A and B are shown apart, each in its own frame.
Chain A
Amino acid sequence: MEKIRIQKVIADSGYCSRRKAEELILNRHVKVNGHLALTGQKIDPVKDVLTIDGERIYYQTKKEHVYLMMNKPRGYITSMSDDRGRRCVTELLPNLDVRVYPVGRLDLNTEGLLLFTSDGKFANDMMHPSRSVSKTYRVTVRPDITDEQAVKLSEGVMIDGRVTAPAEVRVLSKEPNRVVMELVIREGRNRQVRKMCEAVGLEVARLKRTAFGPLKLGMLKPGTCRELKPEELRAIRGAVKKPERRRK
């Protein structure tokens, strides 16, 4: 079999991301045929014996990748495990033969669509800011949103020292002291929607991600998962903006 870079083999196995794999290699956790591995080293994933902290890692071909959609409930953290004993989204996953990882994160109190996959490249494509995959949120805010605040949200607001990219804002319903709106963003900054709302003086009462690119949460029950359909996988791959090639 053709030799492949070691960090790609690790990421494709679903053990961790490519970046995390590089860290593991640098921190001397990874061995190939009993010898410490080097970053960028190419190995034959079938013949060579790859271990991380003594655990054998098996290479997976693309056919074996798993793609799941979860309706994350509030009160769960997006993490594989938590040393503070909080509930993790992984507790809601079905038993799988492969190790899957969340694609991006949703805060403890945010609910809605969360993707999981064993495919490191897919996860990277979905999360990378240059790929501009849209994320749609249903946001309940208090007390009321003025049109000026809606303009600011759509044009971009300063959070963490940088202005956010333009967003789409749609007001779905207005009641006294409570407004439900739909916000579409194309970045994935930490707690972005909450920070955007705070920056314009709105308090977020409830936050739910309803779509990820063309994938829609639909009627999936909170706390449950389902596999992506082949047409959904094609659609989400098609929605990923191709990276621009540098001109010489």
Chain B
Amino acid sequence: MIELLPVTEPSFLDFLNKTYRTDGKFAFVCVEKKEIKSSLIYDVRKQKGIILNVSTVEEDIFDGLVRACFAALLEIGIHQAEFAPEIDSAMTKKLGFVGENPYLVESLDEILDNCKKCKNNQD
């Protein structure tokens, strides 16, 4: 089973920032069979969530990490986000996170309310 968990250990957050050359204050990890497979590093700047790195090229895990981050942002009252230019824009577009602007996520609420794959929305 895959779990998406927030990073609570500051030293591990430091490690992720060093490894991916970022300076984020928050992160989520994808854990499978007790092994940390990949991560998402983000920050909040000027009332906007900034996704600094997503360390996976697997579509489902990428999608899950980004949605976990978006949900966490909404919980603290942030409704917009931006992907760093280093993040694969083909992937973010394919997953429907961005529109014409390849970096900006206009509405996190909309993204989380309109999950294409979500069974609840298929009716």
A and B physically associate = yes
User: Chain A: residues with CB nearer than 8 A to chain B?
Assistant: 144, 146-148, 150-151, 154, 168-171, 174-176
CB contact between A175 and one of B16, B21, B57 (< 8 Å): that residue = B57
* 8-63 of chain B: CB within 8 A of chain A: 15-16, 18-21, 29, 35-39, 55-57
A144 CA / B32 CA spacing, docked (Å): 15
28 interchain pairs, CB-CB under 8 A: A144-B56, A144-B57, A146-B35, A146-B36, A147-B16, A147-B36, A147-B37, A147-B38, A147-B39, A147-B55, A148-B35, A148-B36, A148-B37, A150-B15, A151-B15, A151-B36, A154-B15, A154-B19, A169-B18, A169-B19, A170-B18, A170-B19, A170-B20, A171-B55, A174-B55, A174-B56, A174-B57, A176-B57
In-complex Cβ contact of A168 among B18, B20, B57 (8 A): B18
Cβ-closest chain B residue relative to A154:
B15
Q: Which residues of chain B have a CB within 8 Å of any CB of chain A?
A: 15-16, 18-21, 29, 35-39, 55-57
* Chain A residues positioned under 8 Å from B38 (CB to CB): 146-147
Tell me, in angstroms, the Cα distance from A176 to B57 when the chains sit together: 6
User: Min CB distance, B96 to chain A, in Å?
Assistant: 20
Query: How many A-B pairs fall under 8 Å by CB?
Result: 38
Grouping DSSP codes into helix (H, G, I), strand (E, B) and loop, the A interface class, with mixed when no group exceeds half, is mixed
A186 to chain B, nearest CB (A): 16
Q: A169-B18, A174-B56 are in contact. List 5 more A-B contacts (CB 8 A).
A: A144-B56, A147-B36, A151-B15, A170-B21, A174-B57
Q: How long is the Cα–Cα vector from A169 to B16 in the complex, in angstroms?
A: 10
Instruction: Please name the residue on chain A nearest to B58 by beta carbon.
Output: A144
Question: A residues within 8 A CB of B20?
Answer: 170-171
